[in-house]
Amino acid sequence: MAQTGFVKLAQDGKARTGVITTPRGEIRTPAFMPVGTAATVKAMLPESVRATGADILLGNTYHLMLRPTAERIDRLGGLHRFMNWDRPILTDSGGFQVMSLSGLRKLTEAGVTFKSHIDGSKHMLSPERSMEIQRLLGSDIVMCFDECPALPADRDRITQSMRLSMRWAARSREAFGDRPGHMLFGIQQGGLEQDLRGESAEALKAIGFDGYAVGGLAVGEGQEAMFGCLDYAPDMLPEDKPRYLMGVGKPDDIVGAVKRGVDMMDCVLPSRSGRTGQVFTRRGVLNIKNARHQDDPRPLDEACSCPACTGYSRAYLHHVFRAQEIISSMLLTWHNLHYFQEIMAGMRAAIAEGRFDAWEAEFHATRALGDIEPL
């Protein structure tokens, strides 16, 4: 049976580059994972997602268990075949989205019962059920089932929640069992409390995982507080395993996280923004619906090699956005995902060559210029 593993190829400061090996392909790190919530990265064909440079996608347990259900996906050959993506897939545990999306939750030591946001039907998630669902989906990287309190929360609440998540991490490990070719990641909790982050890291290391996530950030605390936590939280996790920061983020969040020792991230931002007309370029953020673009024959970014930039003008992209044509979401999502992957490729090369600081300075300097002058 094919093996999994992580090899660090180079380090520059705290920033690392390496490769995660899975039977479905290699994942170059630092890696950005596009989010395929309902077994699709919205507005993108899987081969198009691959063309942007993505090595791995994220799928959402909560959404897929409700519709079309994990059992149905299993009967149809698993999530890779179902959505026509044969490369690695990471699935979350469902815990975070139960908290953020479902109605009428009841949390006990056993797990969470909740009502579906789709039809109000009643469901249960526990460490054991989450492991079962992620196995039915055929996920390559499985996440522990955890509880994540929204910040700000008081220290007692964060402590209780973290300790519950550590008990659930042990149950997740037990339920996951021995599955060669698949990886299980633990999730560090503890809010913005350094000692609780340390307690959580020790508990996870005692259980032993194939990778470790920094959980409970990017939940409203702001970039400064997040970076403050990332100044110490990744250092508490094993140096020889991948480190995954969940739900991050904007381009400058991603760069700041990699600088602090994070290897993997995911976020809906590039795809969701593509559907709302928000475009990320080397020179910051622009909104394609602004009238300044309606007569502009120039591309979004003349240095970008994506289909939106090589084939279409700002004027066209403005027009199809205003006309609510489907191609607008397709092209803007493609561009945003392409740009996010270019950031990752740029960081990987810079770390390998020992020039991350210079790369980062250039990244910030170019963004500071702002969008090109209107014609």
Query: Taking CB under 5 A as the criterion, which residues in 205-244 touch Zn ion?
Result: none
Q: Is 352 in the site for Zn ion (CB under 5 A)?
A: no
Nearer to Zn ion, 255 or 309 (CB): 309
Q: Is 335 in the site for Zn ion (CB under 5 A)?
A: yes
Choose among 69, 192, 93: nearest CA to 143.
93
Q: Which residue has the tokens 């600081």?
A: 357
Phi, psi of 107 (to 5 degrees): -105, 125
The annotation status of 144 as a binding-site residue, yes or no, is: no
Query: Taking CB under 5 A as the criterion, which residues in 254-283 touch Zn ion?
Result: none
Q: In the bound complex, what is the minimum distance in angstroms from residue 48's beta carbon to Zn ion?
A: 13
Q: Is 330 in the site for Zn ion (CB under 5 A)?
A: no
Interface segment toward Zn ion; rule CB under 5 A; list 31-39, 130-138, 232-240, 327-335: 327-335
Judged by CB under 5 A, how many residues of this single chain contact Zn ion? 5
Out of 309, 317, 350, 351, which residue is the one contacting Zn ion (CB under 5 A)? 309
Q: Is 306 in the site for Zn ion (CB under 5 A)?
A: yes
Nearer to Zn ion, 196 or 286 (CB): 286
119 given a catalytic annotation: no
- Give yes or no for a cis peptide into 68 (omega within 30° of 0): yes
The annotation status of 25 as a binding-site residue, yes or no, is: no
Distance CA 185, CA 144 (A): 6
The annotation status of 335 as a binding-site residue, yes or no, is: yes
Q: In terms of residues, how long is the chain?
A: 375
CB 188 within 8 A of CB 169: no
186's tokens: 């633990």
Interface segment toward Zn ion; rule CB under 5 A; list 122-130, 228-236, 254-262, 305-313: 305-313
Nearer to Zn ion, 243 or 335 (CB): 335
CB 297 within 8 A of CB 317: no
> Which among 12, 55, 210, 266 is annotated as catalytic?
266
Coil, strand or helix at 161: helix
CB 301 within 8 A of CB 283: yes
Nearer to Zn ion, 267 or 288 (CB): 288
Distance CA 350, CA 183 (A): 28
CA angle 40, 101, 97 (to 5 degrees): 65
The annotation status of 185 as a binding-site residue, yes or no, is: no
Q: In the bound complex, what is the minimum distance in angstroms from residue 343's beta carbon to Zn ion?
A: 13
Nearer to Zn ion, 18 or 270 (CB): 270
266 given a catalytic annotation: yes
Out of 304, 345, 352, 372, which residue is the one contacting Zn ion (CB under 5 A)? 304
The annotation status of 304 as a binding-site residue, yes or no, is: yes
Full DSSP string of 267-319: ESHHHHHHHHTEEEETTEEEETTSGGGTT--S-S-TT--SHHHHH--HHHHHH
> Which among 92, 140, 210, 263 is annotated as catalytic?
92
For the chain, helix, strand, coil in percent to 5 are 45, 20, 35
The annotation status of 146 as a binding-site residue, yes or no, is: yes
CB 203 within 8 A of CB 210: no
Q: In the bound complex, what is the minimum distance in angstroms from residue 23's beta carbon to Zn ion?
A: 32
| Strand 243-245 relative to strand 211-214, pairing | parallel
The annotation status of 12 as a binding-site residue, yes or no, is: no
| Strand 112-115 relative to strand 103-107, pairing | antiparallel
The annotation status of 261 as a binding-site residue, yes or no, is: no
- Contact positions toward Zn ion, by CB under 5 A? 304, 306, 308-309, 335
Hey, which residues are catalytic here? 92, 266
Q: Which residues carry a binding-site annotation for substrate?
A: 92-96, 146, 189, 216
Q: Which residues carry a binding-site annotation?
A: 92-96, 146, 189, 216, 304, 306, 309, 335
Q: Which residues carry a binding-site annotation for Zn(2+)?
A: 304, 306, 309, 335
